[in-house]
Amino acid sequence: MVGASSGIGRECAKQLAAAGVKVAAVARRAERLDQLKGEFPDKIIPFPHDVTNTDEIPDLFMRITQELGGLDLIIYASGVMSDVGRHEFNTAKDLPMIEVNVTGAIAWLNEAAHRFERVGHGSIVCIGSVAGDRGRVGQPVYNASKSFVATYMEALRNRLHRLGVRVTTIKPGPTETEMTSHLHMKKMPVEVAARKTLQLVGRSGEFYLSPMHKIAFFVIRNFPSLLFRRLSV
Ligand X SMILES: NC(=O)c1ccc[n+]([C@@H]2O[C@H](COP(=O)([O-])OP(=O)(O)OC[C@H]3O[C@@H](n4cnc5c(N)ncnc54)[C@H](OP(=O)(O)O)[C@@H]3O)[C@@H](O)[C@H]2O)c1
77 binds ligand X (CB under 6 A): yes
52 binds ligand X (CB under 6 A): yes
Contact stretch for ligand X (CB under 6 A) within 62-70, 161-169, 170-178, 199-207:
170-178
Contact stretch for ligand X (CB under 6 A) within 22-30, 56-64, 115-123, 152-160:
22-30
Q: Which is nearer to ligand X, 160 or 190 (CB)?
A: 190
129 binds ligand X (CB under 6 A): yes
93 binds ligand X (CB under 6 A): no
In this structure, are residues 78 and 9 in contact, taking their beta carbons and an 8 Å threshold? yes
Q: Which is nearer to ligand X, 161 or 214 (CB)?
A: 214
Contact stretch for ligand X (CB under 6 A) within 17-25, 76-84, 150-158, 223-231:
76-84
Pairing of β 165-171 and β 205-208: parallel
Instruction: Provide the residue count of the chain.
Output: 233
Greatest extent of the chain over all pairs of C-alpha atoms, in Å: 55
Per-residue contact flags (x/-) with ligand X for residues 94 to 113, judged by CB under 6 A: ------xx------------
Contact partners, residue 19, CB within 8 Å, separation at least 6: none
* CB neighbourhood size of 117 (10 A): 16
**152 catalytic per annotation:** no
178 binds ligand X (CB under 6 A): yes
In this structure, are residues 132 and 171 in contact, taking their beta carbons and an 8 Å threshold? yes
In this structure, are residues 83 and 93 in contact, taking their beta carbons and an 8 Å threshold? yes
In this structure, are residues 3 and 186 in contact, taking their beta carbons and an 8 Å threshold? no
Residues classed as catalytic: 142
